[in-house]
Amino acid sequence: MSKAILLSIHPKWAKKIYSGEKTVEWRKNIPNELFWGMTVYLYETSPVSLVTGYFVLDNPVMVDMNEKPGWLEQIMIRNGCVTEDDLRKYQGKSERIFGWTMRYREKFDTPKTLAAFGLVRPPQSWQYVEEI
Q: How far apart are CA 42 and CA 52, in angstroms?
A: 6
> What domain range includes position 111?
3-62+99-130
- % of the chain beyond a pLDDT of 90: 78
- % of the chain beyond a pLDDT of 70: 98
- State pTM to two decimals: 0.92
Residue 106 in any domain: the answer is yes
Length of the chain equals 132
Cβ-Cβ contacts under 8 Å for 53 (sequence gap 6 or more): 14, 18, 41, 42, 105, 106, 107, 108, 111
Residue 113 in any domain: the answer is yes
- Specify the pairing of strand 126-130 against strand 61-63: unpaired
CATH number of the domain residue 119 falls in: 2.30.130
Q: What is the distance in angstroms between the CA of the first residue and the CA of the last residue of the chain? A: 8
Residue 23 in any domain: the answer is yes
Mean pLDDT of 90-112: 95
Residue 67 in any domain: the answer is no
Residue 29 in any domain: the answer is yes
Q: How far apart are CA 67 and CA 81, in angstroms?
A: 20
Residue 30 in any domain: the answer is yes
The number of distinct structural domains making up the chain is 1
